[in-house]
A and B are shown apart, each in its own frame.
Chain A
C-alpha cells in the first residue's frame, strides 16, 4: 500500500534540515483523440510528483533550491529533500529572497483523499462521437478533435506549519468539422469541469451552421478590417498580455508595461471603454487553486520563496486603467508594493450585454473570426504579436453572415488593441484555442475593433 500524499508531505517536512516547502500533486487524466471520423489515440494516466523547495543561508544572503520528482512511495522522499537542500546550499544569494510563508487560517480539508478521474468519464462522450461520426460521413464531412479530463489534487506543507489542500478539475473538448474536400473548416471549444455539461449533438449542430456559412467563398486582400473577435480569440490575446505582466521587467524597461526611468504604466489608461481584467481563484465557473504551488509563472517571475502564499483576487486593469502587475513577495518588499501572484484564470468584462448574434446583427460590414493560431511575440516593447486566423473567417454584411473569407496573418498588440475597442459584448465562459493546453479557465466578451490589422493572406484552409 503506497503512502497517502499527506503522509509524504509530512515526511518531507519532517526530514528536512532546512526551512522547506513540500507539495505532492496527484494527477489522473483520461483522453480521446480523433481525426477523419475515427479514433487516433487515447489514454488513462496517473502520476504523483513531490516538489521540495529548500531555503539555505549562503554567503551574502539566502538561496533556494527546488527538486521535483515523480515518486511511487515514501522511500524516495528523503532523497528528494536532500537533493533540494544540496541545490540550495550550493546556490548564490537570490535577489527576491523572502522568509517562508507563515501559517495562516483557511478552510481547506487536509485529511480528504485525492480526487480522481478515469477513462469512463468519457464513455458518454465516446458514444455521442460515434453517432456524430456516422452523421458526418453521411453529410460528407469529417470530424477531428480532442477530449481530455484531468483532476489534480495538491497537498502543500511548510516548515512553518502551513498545510493546504487544493483540487483542480480541468476538462476540455475541441471539435473541428471539415468539408470532405477540406475547403471549409469550423471549430468550437468547450471548457468543462466534469463533462456532464457537454452535448456532442448540440456542438455538431453549431459546426454545421458554420460550415453552411462557408458555402459562399469570398476572397479578401490584406488590410485593416472592422472585426468581431469572439471570446476565445480575445482570450488568447489577453492571456499573452497576462503572461508578460511582470512588474520588475516593467520597472527595468523590458516590457510593454514600462513607462521609462524605472516607472511602470500602472495608473495609465489603456482603454477608453470601462474594461476590467482580473483573476480570482474563487470566481464562479473558473475556480482554481487559491495558493502558490509553483516555482515560477509564465511571466518569468520566480515564486521559489513563496510556496503556500494565498492567491487572492487581483484586478489587473480597472475600468480601462492599468491597476496591477505581477510581483513576488521579495520584489514587493523591495518596492513597497503588495505581492500579486497570478491565478490560473482570467476574466475580462466591460459591462456589455450583447450576444455574438446581436453584435453580428449590428455590423454593417466586417469580419467575424473563429479563433487565432500560432501567436508569437514580435516586439516585447509594444507586445506586438503575430499569428493567424483559423477555422473560419466570415464576412458580415448588413447584419448577416454572407460567406467565408480566406485566412489572414495578423500583426497586433493586445495592449494597443485595448485602446481601439469600440464595443464589448457579454462576458461568457470560453475556451481559448492557442493556449488551451496551458490555460483553460477564461471568461471573456466578444469585442469589436474597427481596424484589425490583417497583414497578409494565408492560403491555408
Chain B
C-alpha cells in the first residue's frame, strides 16, 4: 500500500502554516490559507529506436492567500522557513492593498466543515519514480520496436509522463490536510510516409490516476493495442477521403471524452458563466439564468461532476479551499441542473456549499475554479457499441481524439479523430480519412439518440487542461459510453483552407 512520502512529511509543514496563518491573523485577515506543495513531473520521449528526452522537474514551494479588508491577496515563494512564511503573509496583504482600487465589492466565502489533520492518498500501486530507468526505457522502446518492425510503419514515437503530487493545506478555520496522488500517461504514434502522403495513428490509452502498474496491464493492454496499430494505419493510408455532408455518428469513448470536456466540462464552469474568464478562456452559453431550464441535450443525457472516482485525474480528497470531495449532477435528463463551484461563487449565488472545484496547479499559482471529473452516464440496460452501429444506415464510427477547437462561448466546435470507419446499413465497412465533425454544442447533444451500456464505458482524460491567467494546467478525467448522434455535419479537411 502506498504511504505518504517521507521526504514531504519531513518538511516543517505545521510550523510553516502556523507562522503564515498567525501573521495573517495579526494583520487583520479574516480568511487565510497556506499551501505547501511538492510536485514531481517526469517526461521521457522516444523517437524510432532511440531515447530522445529524459527530463525530471520538481516544484517545491509555499503560498499564502488572504482576504484583507475584503480584498484578495496572494504571494508565493520557495523558501521553506517560518520567517519566510510569515513574510509571505505580509506580501499577500501588500498585493491586497495594491488591488484595493479594483475591488468594488467585498469578497465573501461560503462556509465549509473543518477537517483537522486529514490525510488522503490516491488509488495507485507502484510510484513510477520508484521504478528504475532501464525498466521504463525498455518497456517504451520495446513497444516502439514492435511498431517499427511492422510493414508500412516508417517511424514511431513514444512518450511517457508521470506525476507525483504532495500537498499540505491549512486555513484559519482549522482545516489541515495532507494529500498525495500519482498519475501516468503513455502513448505511441506510428507514422507512415509514402505515395499516400503522411498518415499517423496514435494509441488510445488514456492518461490515468494509476502508477507504473498501468504499463503492465492494470487498466490497459498496451501490447494488444500496439499490435493492432500497423494494420489500422495501413488501412487508413489507403482509405478514401470522406465526402463532406451530414452523417449519423457513433462516437467511441476514446473520442467522445474530449467533446464532453470542451462542450460540457468547460461550459458548466460557473466562473465562465459569470464572466471571470471572459477575456481569456471565454464565457459560456449556459448562462446562470438558464439553470434548471436549459435543454442542453436529449433526455438520455445525464452528466455528473465528481472528485471521487478511482483513478480519476481530478480525484482528490479535499480541494484547494479545504472543501471535501463530492459527486454532483450537472445535467439531468438533458436539462442543465448544476455548475462547478468554488467557495466565493457558491456564496455569491447562494448555493449553500461549494462542490469542491478549487484547484491550483502549483504552489506559485492561486486556486481557481477547475474542472472535476465530468462524465456522461451510460444507460444501465443500453445497447452495446455494435448495437448502436447496427442502428445506422449511413454513418461514421469515430475512434480516438486528435484535433479539437471550440469557441469562447462553447458553441461552435470542430473535432477530428484517430480512426474513422464508414457505417453502411448497420455494418462497418472501410476506413475513411480527412474527417472532422463540426457542430453547435446544444444541437449536437440534442441529437444524441442513445448512449451505450456500462460495458461500453471508458474513463478518458487529459493531463493538461489549460485555464486562467497566469495560465494553469489541470489533469481531468471524463468517463462516457459509446453514443449515437444523428445527422452531424462532417467536413472534408482536405477541402478546407486551400485556394478553391
Contact = CB atoms under 8 A, between A and B. Distances in A.
Interface string A117-128: 001101100110
B404 A376 contact: yes
Interface in A10-46: 29-46
B325 interface: no
Given A38-B102, A38-B105, A41-B366, A87 B60 contact: no
The 5 closest A-B pairs by CB, nearest first: A130-B101, A90-B133, A411-B496, A460-B409, A144-B279
B54 A35 contact: no
Nearest to B52: A302
Contacts of B59: 70
B500 A39 contact: no
Given A93-B50, A94-B52, A144-B275, A378 B137 contact: no
Contacts of A388: 405, 407-408, 412
A59 B499 CA distance: 52
A374 B61 contact: no
A381 B440 CA distance: 28
B105 A459 contact: no
B414 interface: yes
Given A32-B102, A44-B94, A144-B278, A390 B408 contact: yes
A87 B407 contact: no
Contacts of A39: 71-72, 99, 102-103
A416 B499 contact: yes
Contacts of B429: none
Interface of B: 47-48, 50-61, 63, 71-81, 91-92, 94-96, 98-99, 101-105, 132-134, 137, 141, 154-155, 191, 193, 197-198, 200, 274-280, 282-283, 285, 364-366, 368, 403-412, 414, 416, 434, 436, 438, 440, 469-471, 489, 491, 493-494, 496-500
A277 B187 CA distance: 34
A365 interface: no
Contact of B54 (A42, A91, A459): A91
Contacts of A459: 285, 407, 409, 411-412, 440
Contact of B405 (A144, A380, A409): A409
Given A44-B95, A92-B50, A148-B469, A460 B279 contact: no
B50 A40 contact: no
Interface size bucket, A side? Answer: 35 or more
Indicate the member of A145, A258, A379, A412 with the most B CB atoms within 10 Å.
A379
B193 A254 contact: yes
Nearest to B494: A379
A373 interface: yes
A287 interface: no
A201 interface: no
Contact of B498 (A91, A387, A416, A458): A416
A195 interface: no
Interface in A294-348: 295-296, 302, 304
Contacts of A187: 279
Nearest to A131: B101
B496 A384 contact: yes
Nearest to A417: B497
A377 B403 contact: yes
Nearest to A389: B407
11 contacts: A40-B72, A46-B76, A65-B55, A295-B55, A374-B407, A376-B405, A378-B416, A413-B497, A453-B497, A459-B409, A460-B285
A47 B497 contact: no
A63 B498 contact: no
A381 B197 contact: yes
Contact of A126 (B56, B102, B407): B102
A70 B102 contact: no
B364 A69 contact: no
A254 B155 contact: yes
A374 B92 CA distance: 33
Contact of B99 (A42, A71, A437): A42
A109 interface: no
A64 interface: yes
Contacts of B103: 38-39
Interface stretch (A174-182, A211-219, A350-358): A174-182
A142 B283 CA distance: 14
B94 A119 contact: yes
Nearest to B60: A70
A451 B499 CA distance: 8
Given A70-B60, A95-B47, A253 B366 contact: no
A66 B54 contact: yes
Contacts of B493: 378-379, 384, 411
A412 B366 contact: no
A133 interface: yes
A326 to B, nearest CB: 15
A304 B53 contact: yes
B94 to A, nearest CB: 6
A88 B51 CA distance: 11
Contacts of B191: 252, 254
Interface in A157-177: 174-176
A64 B278 contact: no
A72 interface: yes
B279 A94 contact: no
A67 interface: yes
Interface string A426-461: 000000000001000000000000010101111111
A86 to B, nearest CB: 8
B411 A45 contact: no
Contacts of B132: 90
Given A386-B403, A416-B498, A123 B98 contact: yes
Contacts of A270: none
A292 interface: no
Given A148-B469, A174-B280, A90 B137 contact: yes
Given A127-B101, A182-B275, A252-B193, 10 more contacts: A36-B276, A43-B470, A70-B61, A95-B48, A296-B55, A378-B493, A384-B496, A411-B496, A437-B469, A455-B491
Contacts of B52: 94-96, 302
B499 A420 contact: yes
